[in-house]
């Protein structure tokens, strides 16, 4: 009898799950209600952001495109109107043939410069970021300070020219490649180091147990896992190097060494009223980095945020 008197059913012995379920449902309902009340404000903010983006980015690009298709007389008025006489094809071939096809040589120089600089930055930054994250030594604070100094200290033109002249690389593509690598390496190292922190050390230990050396471990195990941040570095640095004007002007002077940004001088020197040719040149040198950014914008965001949270 005593056993029957003190035996309760499961529902009577533990009413807490029902209470927790009700409490959880109520809290979820309250959070959903607050989210629904905040939703109109978020939509308005999003619409405002889209409108500002259109004004800041699309309207100037549309003005460049429209002006590039005008005749010289219409383009000189700098009005945002559709051309009465479309001269897009004529302006295109005029820009290509100007200066003994200097624009084609400039595209070739910029392509070589961009591919070489970005390739070196990716490999070196990935290796340095991996070593800084995986191996701790007394030199790590020194290297970290140098990396941060590369981001903080502005580039000095005159000392850089002196160094390039001393090494015999002034007015050469090799010298400008070295300049871009030196000035862009710090940013890339920080990205790679943050991403390497998300890769488990067990992969390194397993590869070492399988007999992999340091280079084989890095290039066959670690480097393929850095795909997202590699795409980010490639796109960001490729756009930066391809659109560079200052470094090419200071460290690579001369018509034979012209890059795409320096070709703008060719049309400004012929007269400020040739806005149709100037804007056609701007349109041609803007399209390649724009296409690259459109196709890889998701990879850029993924690579920039992948190392923010470890684990």
- Per-residue pLDDT tens digits for 171-184: 999 999 999 999 99
Name the pLDDT band for 2 (thresholds 50, 70, 90): very low
Q: Has residue 229 got a pLDDT over 60? A: yes
Each as own residue / partner, the long-range contacts of residues 100-105 (CB below 8 Å, 24 or more positions apart, any chain) are: 102/255, 102/258, 102/263, 102/266, 103/260, 103/263, 103/281, 103/284, 105/256, 105/258
Coarse DSSP helix, strand, coil percentages of the chain, rounded to the nearest 5 percent: 80, 0, 20
Residue 207 structure tokens: 């590869």
pLDDT recorded at residue 268: 66
Name the pLDDT band for 8 (thresholds 50, 70, 90): very low
Which residue's structure tokens are 């190097």?
Answer: 241
pLDDT tens for each residue of 185-221:
999 999 999 899 888 888 888 988 888 888 898 999 8
Instruction: Assign 156 to helix, strand or coil.
Output: coil
Please tell me which residue, 90 or 253, carries the higher pLDDT value. 90
How far apart are the two ends of the chain, measured CA to CA in Å?
57
Average pLDDT over residues 70-98: 86
How many C-beta atoms lie closer than 10 Å to residue 13's C-beta? Answer: 9
- The mean predicted confidence, pLDDT, of the chain is 81
pLDDT tens for each residue of 32-64:
455 445 566 678 888 888 888 778 888 888 898
């Amino acid at each position: 009898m005593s056993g029957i008197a003190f035996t309760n059913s499961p529902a009577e012995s533990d009413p807490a799950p029902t209470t927790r379920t009700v409490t959880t449902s109520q809290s979820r309902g309250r959070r959903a209600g607050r989210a629904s009340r905040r939703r109109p404000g978020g939509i308005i903010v999003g619409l405002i952001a889209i409108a500002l983006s259109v004004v800041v980015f699309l309207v100037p690009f549309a003005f460049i495109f429209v002006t590039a298709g005008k005749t010289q007389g219409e383009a000189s008025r700098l009005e945002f109107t559709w051309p009465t006489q479309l001269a897009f094809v004529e302006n295109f071939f005029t820009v290509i043939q100007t200066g003994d096809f200097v624009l084609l040589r400039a595209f070739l120089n910029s392509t070589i410069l961009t591919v070489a600089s970005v390739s070196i930055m990716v490999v070196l930054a990935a290796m340095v970021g991996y070593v800084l994250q995986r191996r701790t030594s007394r030199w790590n604070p020194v290297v970290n300070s140098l990396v941060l100094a590369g981001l903080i200290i502005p580039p000095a033109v005159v000392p850089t020219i002196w160094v390039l002249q001393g090494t015999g690389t002034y007015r050469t593509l090799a010298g400008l490649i070295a300049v871009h690598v030196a000035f862009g390496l710090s940013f890339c190292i920080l990205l790679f180091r943050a991403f390497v922190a998300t890769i488990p050390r067990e992969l390194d230990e397993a590869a070492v147990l399988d007999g992999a050396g340091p280079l084989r471990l890095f290039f066959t195990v670690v480097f393929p896992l850095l795909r997202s941040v590699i795409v980010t570095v490639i796109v960001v640095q490729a756009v930066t190097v391809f659109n560079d004007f200052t470094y090419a002007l200071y460290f690579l002077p001369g018509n034979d060494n012209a890059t795409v940004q320096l070709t703008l001088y060719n049309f400004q020197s012929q007269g400020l009223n040739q806005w149709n040719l100037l804007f056609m040149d701007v349109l041609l040198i803007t399209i390649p980095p724009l296409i690259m950014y459109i196709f890889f914008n998701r990879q850029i965001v993924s690579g920039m945020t992948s190392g923010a949270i470890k684990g």
